[in-house]
């Protein structure tokens, strides 16, 4: 049994932390929201009153935070996690942030002689709760080997993507592709309906033909064909539209930094901006089908 500090018990972090508890570890959880800390404690976690209390003496630290500024603020500086943990502690940031920030934290950890990996996830809330996430991990081989046993308790796949920042690079490329796939899937269903096709019949055909994708077969944006999809819950988020927009903006920023021209990625960002600023702020990203169906997408 290891002592693990888990910082960030939001929609994703809470399920991940509980899976570490189920694996037999002693998990100290901290979040600025006391309600989620109390909910975590009710499931066997140990509440911590501060980041420092959580990480002191820990064997491992996992962070799941909203943005790069939060990640850097908790890791860096004299009061940061890197300066407070034991040299043999392994640090895992599962947030989705920009590549440069991930590399900066990795460099700070390396200078301090502490193992650190950037390990963003794919799979959404249901996968976080079910322990079936995919982890895309960036960092030195030794840090990856130290982190993998913990990540494996929270996911079905733990893949070493490369050096520091590579996990974040893989995540933003993957989610840009997901956004493009989802928009295309939504447009196909909208057209199918207008052409008089039964949507279940279209799903039965396309999910087994060359147009199939994860957005079709696992996360279908119309109610019915995939019972577990958010489309059957009025698009209550599994993966909220603002989070998809965040990832698309990270991808476009990264593209700009390396001179990559990504017309479909850029258009996806524009569409998700319109959706989020309209009725999609509290909806799943697959809910963009409503905007497309209403003819509001441009």
Q: What is the pLDDT of residues 1-23, one digit of tens each?
A: 999 999 999 999 999 999 999 99
> Which of 90, 13, 5 has its CA nearest to residue 48?
5
Q: What is the pLDDT of residues 127-142, one digit of tens each?
A: 999 999 999 999 999 9
Could you tell me what percent of the chain has a pLDDT over 70?
Answer: 99
Tell me the β-bridge partners of 240: 284
Statement: residue 298 has pLDDT above 70? no
**Catalytic positions:** 171
Mean pLDDT of 152-174: 97
Q: Give me the helices (H) in 23-58, please.
A: 34-42, 51-55
Q: Give CA–CA dist 55/125, Å, rounded.
A: 25
pLDDT score at 176: 98
What element of type H or E holds 16?
A: helix 11-22
Statement: residue 297 has pLDDT above 80? no
Q: How far apart are the first and last CA of the chain?
A: 54
Q: What is the pLDDT of residues 81-107, one digit of tens each?
A: 999 999 999 999 999 999 999 999 999
Statement: residue 232 has pLDDT above 90? yes
Tell me the β-bridge partners of 215: none
The answer to whether 202 touches 247, Cβ cutoff 8 Å, is no
Statement: residue 64 has pLDDT above 70? yes
The DSSP code for 294 is: T
Structure tokens at 12: 């994703």
Percent of the chain as helix, strand, coil, to the nearest 5: 55, 15, 35
Q: Which residue has the higher pLDDT, 126 or 174?
A: 174
């Amino acid at each position: 049994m290891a002592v693990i500090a888990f910082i960030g018990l939001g929609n994703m972090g809470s399920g991940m932390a509980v899976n570490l508890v189920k694996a037999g570890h002693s998990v100290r959880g901290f979040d600025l929201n006391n309600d989620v800390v109390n909910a975590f404690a009710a499931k066997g976690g140990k509440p911590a009153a501060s980041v420092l209390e959580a990480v002191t003496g820990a064997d491992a630290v996992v962070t799941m935070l909203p943005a790069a500024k939060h990640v850097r603020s908790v890791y860096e500086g004299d009061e940061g996690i890197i300066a407070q943990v034991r040299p043999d502690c392994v640090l895992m940031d599962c947030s989705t942030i920009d590549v440069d920030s991930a590399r900066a934290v990795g460099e700070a950890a390396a200078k301090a002689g502490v193992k650190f990996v950037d390990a963003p996830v794919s799979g959404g809330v249901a996968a976080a709760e079910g322990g079936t996430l995919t982890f895309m991990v960036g960092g030195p081989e030794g840090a990856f080997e130290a982190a993998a046993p913990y990540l494996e308790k929270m996911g079905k796949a733990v893949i070493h993507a490369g050096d520091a920042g590579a996990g974040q690079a893989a995540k933003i490329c993957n989610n840009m592709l997901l956004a493009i796939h989802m928009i295309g899937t939504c447009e196909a269903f909208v057209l199918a309906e207008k052409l008089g096709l039964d949507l279940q019949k279209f799903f039965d055909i396309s999910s087994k033909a060359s147009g199939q994708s994860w957005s079709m077969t696992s996360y279908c944006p119309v109610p019915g064909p995939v019972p577990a999809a958010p489309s059957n819950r009025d698009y209550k988020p599994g993966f909220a539209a603002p989070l998809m927009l965040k990832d698309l903006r990270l991808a476009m920023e990264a593209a700009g930094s390396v001179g990559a021209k990504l017309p479909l990625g850029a258009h996806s960002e524009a569409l998700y901006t319109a959706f989020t600023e309209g009725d999609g702020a509290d909806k799943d990203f697959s809910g963009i089908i409503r905007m497309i169906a209403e003819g509001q997408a441009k």
